[in-house]
Every structure is written in structure tokens, then in C-alpha cells.
A and B are shown apart, each in its own frame.
Chain A
Amino acid sequence: MKSLILRTAAPPIVSLMVLFSIFVLLRGHNEPGGGFIGGLIAVAALSIYGIAFGVETVRRAIVFHPLAIAGAGLLLSTLSGFLSAIFHVPFMTGLWITPVVLGVEIPLSTVMSFDIGVYLVVVGAVTSIALSLEEREDS
């Protein structure tokens, strides 16, 4: 779309939306949010970017093919479940570590890595659909 306003406004909007999607992803453990809705927000950001600058620019910006991102997310989620095997607990049991970095406790868990996997699956799969739809419109 050849709109100067959109092209000027898109970069800050897109970066804010991606940031917000990550916030929603991390917030999702105890409050409304999570990987699925966070992923959808990120897809919305990428779609705006695509509308403003074209599909090719988005494909270059995300480096990997969207479906490869979805695959990586699925793999991450599956591996998060397999980690429990080492600790002799059933599949998908939530495991936590809280390393202290510079005096701040950072809780990390397999629940979180699972949710990041979901985020990546949603980003990859829905971006793939959105980009091919936009591509159809361009041509």
C-alpha cells in the first residue's frame, strides 16, 4: 500500500506490538495472556508491516520461513515435556529453576518454554497464512 502515513507510522506501531506480544506471553503464566494470544498479537504486527512495506520485506525481516518457525516452536514445546524424563516425573510436569542474576531472582520453567513454543507455532502458522493471502492480493 503506497500510503506515506502508514509507512511512517508502521515501524513504531509494529515494534510496540511485538514488544506487547512478548509482554502478554510472559504475563500469561498467572494472569490473562499466554502464548496463543501473544502469538496472535505478533502476527497482527507482522501483517501491518506487510501491508505497509510488502510481503517480501516481512519475509526478509523474519529471516526464517514462517513454517520453519512453527516447526521450531512445536519442537520446543515437545522437548519441554521430555525434560521431565530426567527427573523421573510424568510427561509435561512443570519444572522450575530460579537463578539469581545480579541480585534478581528470575523464575524459569518448562511451563514457560512450552508457552514460548506455542507462541512460535502461532506466529509461524498464522503468519504463513496471512502472508500468502497478502501475496495473492499484491499480484
Chain B
Amino acid sequence: MAVSASSPVLSEALVLAPVTALDWLVIAPVAWCIGIGAVLMMVRHRGMLQPLIAIAALTVLVCLDAMLLWHVSQGGPVTMVMGRWLPPFGIAFTVDLTGALFALAAAVVALAGAVAAMADIDASGRRYGFYPFLMLLMAGASGAFLTGDIFNLYVWFEVLLISSFGLLVLGSRSAQIDGAVKYGFLNLVATTLFLVATGYLYGIFGTLNMADIARKAPGLRDTAPLMTLTALYLLAFSMKAAAFPVNFWLPASYHTPRIVVSALFAGLLTKVGIYALIRVSILLFPVEREILGPVLALVAILTMLTGGLGALAQTDSRRLLGYLVISGIGSMLAGIAIGGPDAIAGTLFYALHSMLVMTALYLAIGLAARLGAGFSLAVPSGLYRDHAALAFLTLALFFSVSGLPPFSGFWPKVMLVKAALDAGAVWLAGALLLTGFLTMIATGRLFLLSYWRPRDERTAGAGQAGLPVSGLPVRRLPITIVAPLVVLTALSLLIGLFPETLLALARQAALALTTPTAYLDSVFAPGSLQ
């Protein structure tokens, strides 16, 4: 059996305290996703079995992440080291409130995507492995949110990248290959930069454990080139998060895959970049972030405005949403640029809101396209007349993404604007409000042109021969897309009406990031010298 625990030498190298079942929640989401992904790979040819297994597994994942969030909110950050080697030598998974919140939101988004995929992904998409890719994507995302080791974070980024690449080319249309090449190449550049920065960091610190880096950074600040390091990390993660000058992969690729895949990407990928930005700039290098604050603020403003203006200029609803994802990223960056617990809390809240709402928006326009409206804004569909309920649901999501009450987008915007004004960053506050305005116009334009405008009989007849000329062909709404859409919209409304719990959690999470004593103590015993 395992080496006996009596030897005094062992306590120098190994974790000897027994691990409770609750602590297993730290690793469970990741290992569970990988295991189920493996099972799904083995039953690749069973078209009907796959979605059932995946949906059941993701439901379990949501439960696991909810329990993890509860565990962390009760007892503070939790750490588990792989293979029982003591940190910083063993790879540590350290979960704090931020990670747990992100992981839970990601699991909810993935579950919604898996259900919607039952209608959107056909048999050949399943055979090519939509569901295994989805599970591995979730393994990558959960791993990134839960790990406490910066090289391990890189590994999960790679897992995420590979599975997203697989999802992107599912279907193999030439537009998809085109999008995937741009997406893959620019993201590989970003991960390579991340790897270079991590090698540099290892050269400076001699450790990869985030808690270890955070506690060693103050001592090295005067001698080591931490500014360069931070700038490298910020560049790499900004590319991942789609911040302004390095975000061209997003508009080039997000409109090409199946709509469910777009929805998942909008909910998951860029948010992992934002999470990594928060982790590195707030937890590891807060002083350097302070100095780089004006640069970050400029990037945030440009990202917000180019996103908003880009959305205004689009004639394809998928591309429009892609630009809305970008402008949302700008708002989150604004919080990071300001720093301080209030602003970070706003960023966290915004990220969680954005994950749910952007996914729902893509599902909504996918549903509209399925009902015959297509993705082009030039073709009036008269959806408002034929499917008023769907139109209202979409309008609610548009309100939410623009930051109007009573939906979830309102609160983070208020928090961010208030934090910006408190910090004296009037320009930033102005840009945040202007972006909300631009988003409102862009989504209003989408609603007006593609939902509200009555269907033009002549163009409809010419465009879609064989369909009844009067009104849209009345097709049954697929319940598997409607249900996740309704649930996500209801969540957004619920968060908008009763924000207290999430507000408190976001504040607590932000405080734990800015003063990471509890995070460090969960990895290294309090008071231990290194």
C-alpha cells in the first residue's frame, strides 16, 4: 500500500493529512468532464445515446460546481495538490470564490448548449464528436478556473483551444475552415506568448504556483523585471479575451460555426481570458497593474467603442453579436483597469452576466434563423407578428445586454460606472455609458429590422421559393432550443430583480482577490516560511 505515514521525513515532502470528500470537489469538475468525454468518445457512433449521457453529465457538473461554490463560500479557498506532493512542487488546484463562480456559470452555459445542440447538431455533427469536444471544452474551462498553478493554467488553455478548434470546424464548410484558420493561428500566437511569459516567470521566480508567486513578488519587485513580465501576460490574455488591437480573430470566426457552437464560444472562451487577466493582474502583480492602469483603461475604452460601433455597422446578426461580445469584454477590462475591490466586483458580475446572456442571445438569433428569418438584417421576417413570445424574449435579452433594468446587465454597469467615478476616471465612466447607449442602438436596430419589420411578400417569394408566400412558414419551435433560452433569460431577469446574493458573492470574491491572505493560507500553512 502507500508509504507508511509514520516517517518524519515524509512530512517534508508529502501531504499527510487525510483528504475529505468535500475537498474532492476541487478536482471533481475537471476529472468528471475528462472521464465523460472519454466515454463519449467510445460511443461516438451511438447518435441518440450521446446527448443523453452529455446532458446528464453536465447536470451533475452543475451540481458539483454549485456544491463547490457553497463549500468555498462557507470555508474560504480550498486547495488540493495532485499526487500529494507539497506545494509549490505538486501542482495545486486552489479554488476561491472567483474560480467557483466562473466554473458554475460555465457549467450552466454548457448545459444549455448541450440541450440546444440536440436540435441544432445533426447526426454527422454528433459522429464527428460534438459532445466529446463539448465535454473536453468544459474540462479545459473548469481546469482553467480551478487551477492554482500558472503552467497548469496554460495546459487548460491548450485543452480549451484544441476542443474549440474541433467544434469550430464541425461541418467542414469552407467558411468554417476560413474562420478556423484565423481563429487557430491568432490563438496559437496568444498561447505561445503565454508560454513564453510563463518560461520567463519561472526563470525569475523559480516557481509556478500562483500563491507562491504572489507571496514572493513583493521581495523581487525592486530587482526583477516584473513590469515586462506583467505586460507580456496582459498582451497574451488580452488576445485571448479579444481586447481591442488584438481581437480580429473573433469577428473573423464567431459567425461561421453552428449557432450552438457560437453560443458556447460567446459564453466561455473570451471569459476564460478575462478570468486569467483578473488572476494575473490582481492576484499576482497588483502593483504592476496599478502602473499599467492607464494603458488598460485606454484599451478598455477602445474595445468598448470599437465593439459598439462595429455592432452598429453589421448586416448579419451573428456578426453583430460578435461585436457585442467584444464591447462587453471592454466593460470588463474597465473594471480591471480601475482596480480595487468595487471595480473588480463589477467585472466579475459583468462576466457572469455576460456568459449567460451572450449564450442566450446566440440561441435566440439561431432560433429566429431557424424560423425562416435567416441571419441577414436586410431581409424583414415579421417575426414579431408570427412569434410574438420569441420576439419579446429576444427583446428582454437585448435590454439585458444593453444594461437596462430590470435585467442582469444593469447591476454590473452601475457598479463599474460608480467605481470609475469614485476613482476619478470620468472618461472611463463616460465610455461605459456611451457603450451601453451604442449597444442599445445596435440591438434596437437589429430588433427593428429583423423582428419588427413586416415581411415583404415579394422578396420573400423570390428568396425562398416553395414556401407559402403569406407570412412565415409556421414551423414548430424545437423545445430543446426554447427551453434553455427561456431558462437563461429567466436567470438574467432573476439576477436583475434579486441581485443581492450575487452582489455579495462578487464583492466577497473581489475582496479575496485584492487581499489574498486566505488564498495564500489555503496553499501554504499560515506563518510557514518558504
Instruction: Name 11 interchain pairs, CB-CB below 8 A, sorted by A.
Output: A74-B41, A78-B31, A81-B27, A81-B31, A85-B24, A87-B1, A88-B18, A89-B2, A90-B80, A90-B82, A91-B24
Q: How many angstroms between the C-alpha atoms of A72 and B40 in the bound complex?
A: 10
The interface residues of chain B lying within 8 Å CB-to-CB of A94 are 2, 83
- Stretch in A14-22, A25-33, A39-47, A63-71 touching the partner: A63-71
Nearest A residue to B79 via CB reads A90
- Say whether B84 contacts A71, CB under 8 Å: no
The interface residues of chain A lying within 8 Å CB-to-CB of B132 are 71
- Say whether A90 contacts B42, CB under 8 Å: no
Given contacts A90-B19, A93-B2, A95-B2, is CB(A78)–CB(B41) below 8 Å?
no
Q: How many angstroms between the C-alpha atoms of A78 and B29 in the bound complex?
A: 12
Name the 5 nearest CB pairs between A and B, nearest first.
A71-B41, A74-B38, A75-B38, A88-B18, A71-B42
- Say whether A68 contacts B41, CB under 8 Å: yes
**Range of interface residues on chain B?**
20 to 34
Nearest A residue to B41 via CB reads A71
Say whether B385 faces chain A, with CB atoms less than 8 Å apart: no
- Say whether A65 contacts B2, CB under 8 Å: no
The interface residues of chain B lying within 8 Å CB-to-CB of A72 are 38, 42
Given contacts A65-B44, A89-B18, is CB(A82)–CB(B31) below 8 Å?
yes
The interface residues of chain A lying within 8 Å CB-to-CB of B83 are 90-94
Smallest distance from the beta carbon of A123 to chain B beta carbons, Å?
A: 14
- Say whether B44 contacts A90, CB under 8 Å: no
The interface residues of chain A lying within 8 Å CB-to-CB of B39 are 71, 75
Nearest B residue to A88 via CB reads B18
Say whether A79 faces chain B, with CB atoms less than 8 Å apart: yes
Say whether A104 faces chain B, with CB atoms less than 8 Å apart: no
- Say whether A89 contacts B84, CB under 8 Å: yes
Say whether A101 faces chain B, with CB atoms less than 8 Å apart: no
- Say whether B38 contacts A87, CB under 8 Å: no
Q: How many angstroms between the C-alpha atoms of A73 and B42 in the bound complex?
A: 10
Say whether B81 faces chain A, with CB atoms less than 8 Å apart: yes
Say whether B414 faces chain A, with CB atoms less than 8 Å apart: no
Q: How many angstroms between the C-alpha atoms of A74 and B82 in the bound complex?
A: 17
The interface residues of chain B lying within 8 Å CB-to-CB of A70 are 41
Nearest A residue to B83 via CB reads A92
Q: Which of A65, A78, A91 contacts B82 (CB 8 A)?
A: A91
